Structure 1
């Protein structure tokens, strides 16, 4: 850990938080006028609420991260520019979708292109060189990246839940950079996103006055996926799986359950475990508090996996993370006694 990197991480994080909050205040009248999210089958809110806060989050993250990288890791800025461009493309697509929903096919085509650009920009990373040819691995990573971008979007359906996910994950990634387990430029991007989300958080506090919107959740999913991919490429695949494990489990299990029921998975719904929890008697703050606490546990397990040596210890930590996530999902899926009594 170098003093300059530590100072740079702190500076980028604080600057991103301040800039994000300032941009929200500046843009809020426009978002209230042109980007109202009206309640639908997926919504947890009951009144029209402005969306588009992701514009402030993304802009603050990109400005501060690019500034930090230019000063502390100038050789890495050329590799980050394509990722930033891909994030902006997804933000533009998300902005259109927030105002007037786009058809599924063109939306997916843009997502595949943006994710492919981000994966290519990450460099020559091979996760399974002995098992898969490079083109096949690249295609599978892009497919996984598109799913990750969409699951982050799907999970952004409750006040503060994306903050409760992104803040611990990005803070852990910044810590890994300070520990030397992740390149410094990736750590600056992570802390820039963390700070920008914290700057947005007061406006998304339950009951939210502002939502991220697809303009925010889609590029945030891309940036998070890019950072986790780079962490895996540094030899820390277990940590890269542990950090987003709650989002991965909730979204993927929900998709599989809906497919088994023969439901149209592209349509809005309230089947995610965190949504079922609010129907089962949990308050919004109880749900996001539980998710935040779980993510702190997963971040601690991921940190232990980064510091561990050998194969057995990280494998055991991954099993511990799966058990912790399973406990939370089971708790969310079970109606509280008063709710269960009311349904009987």
Structure 2
């Protein structure tokens, strides 16, 4: 892509986001604080729709590539947008999620592999998408973390192994820049909404899946390691406390830092960004295809995270059932 093309695309995405703001304001598509929220003021919801719009622009202007992936993304973004404004029945939402994931698998040509890879991939993909959605709770965290993932994937695509369209990576990166301009603020102009967090998770999982299938290197899963550690550890602690893991909550470590410790959202988001940046550098330049090194990196991060979490939150908060 030329500099002119990138500039035109960036300005177009800014314009689309601003148009959406007008529509969201007119139709009262807003985010009201709830039990899961780490914010206190009403804000426009669904700004993350720009990720799906960017992918659609790529599809029409760059040769109609990845038709099944784009279709899956449109479906999962559409149902997530409806869920943002209407609150849909879980069966309907999960059914569309499943169809979208199957379309992604078809794009990956996953059905040509032995059958047992399908249920494994379903669990990993749907689990990752939902975990990504749960991690979207404070200003700046989803946009900055996702932009880091896309930048890392672009570097890999250009310098290590070409596995996907660079134009698609650039287009998604530009949409994240636009979203971060409005979200990476003390007082955000908009939130991603489920349409944004689910949509960008679907996109990033697609890229990582492409990379893993092209290189046969499962170590690239660690590009989402820090999110994964927070999400999985939180689920385990909630299970230990005998809580309903499907109910809204503020039990993630990033939420503890934001709510209990009163750490500014952007500082927490930056901490997560910097830690994952270090992980990505180690993964790309030192771990590469060495599975033993990847396991050591993963174990080291888990141990440090858990030590810090127990030190800051305490055993009582993490392990004991809370009296309502």
1:279 aligns with 259
Find the aligned partners of 1:144 and 1:87 in 2 and give their Cα distance: 17
Matches within 5 A, 1:153-302: 153-185=133-165, 187-204=166-183, 205-235=185-215, 237-281=217-261, 282-302=263-283
1:304 aligns with 285
Deviations 1:46-89 (A, max 9, x none): 11111111222321233136534x2xxxxxx45x1111111111
Which of 97, 101, 106 is residue 120 of structure 1 equivalent to? 106
Residue 191 to residue 236, structure 1, CA distance change in 2 (3 Å): farther
Q: Secondary structure at the match of 1:271?
A: coil
Which of 308, 319, 327 is residue 304 of structure 2 equivalent to? 327
1:57 aligns with 51
Q: Confirm or deny that 1:27 pairs with 2:20.
A: yes
Find the aligned partners of 1:272 and 1:42 in 2 and give their Cα distance: 10
8 Å Cα contact 1:166-1:197 kept in structure 2: yes
Cα distance, 1:210 vs. partner?
A: 0.3
Which stretch of the first structure deviates more once superposed, 147-156 or 273-282? 273-282
Find the aligned partners of 2:302 and 2:111 in 1 and give their Cα distance: 28
2:61 aligns with 67
What is the root-mean-square deviation in Å for CA atoms of aligned residues? Answer: 2.6
Find the aligned partners of 1:125 and 1:24 in 2 and give their Cα distance: 37
1:340 aligns with none
Which of 81, 84, 89 is residue 103 of structure 1 equivalent to? 89
Cα distance, 1:139 vs. partner?
A: 2.0
Find the aligned partners of 1:56 and 1:161 in 2 and give their Cα distance: 16
Which stretch of the first structure deviates more once superposed, 277-286 or 49-58? 277-286
Q: Confirm or deny that 1:40 pairs with 2:21.
A: no
Find the aligned partners of 1:86 and 1:27 in 2 and give their Cα distance: 22
Q: Secondary structure at the match of 1:175?
A: helix
Cα distance, 1:157 vs. partner?
A: 0.8
Residue 65 to residue 160, structure 1, CA distance change in 2 (3 Å): farther
Find the aligned partners of 1:156 and 1:65 in 2 and give their Cα distance: 27
Cα distance, 1:332 vs. partner?
A: 5.5
Which stretch of the first structure deviates more once superposed, 277-286 or 249-258? 277-286
Cα distance, 1:270 vs. partner?
A: 0.3
Structure 1: stretches of 5+ with no match in the other structure: 1-7, 71-76, 127-132, 337-344
Q: Secondary structure at the match of 1:134?
A: coil
8 Å Cα contact 1:86-1:118 kept in structure 2: yes
Cα distance, 1:330 vs. partner?
A: 4.6
Residue 14 to residue 179, structure 1, CA distance change in 2 (3 Å): farther
Find the aligned partners of 1:246 and 1:9 in 2 and give their Cα distance: 34
Q: Secondary structure at the match of 1:215?
A: helix
Aligned pair count?
A: 311
Residue 9 to residue 110, structure 1, CA distance change in 2 (3 Å): farther
Find the aligned partners of 2:216 and 2:116 in 1 and give their Cα distance: 21
Residue 15 to residue 152, structure 1, CA distance change in 2 (3 Å): farther
Which of 120, 135, 138 is residue 118 of structure 2 equivalent to? 138
Residue 175 to residue 249, structure 1, CA distance change in 2 (3 Å): same
1:73 aligns with none
Q: Confirm or deny that 1:315 pairs with 2:292.
A: yes
1:87 aligns with 73
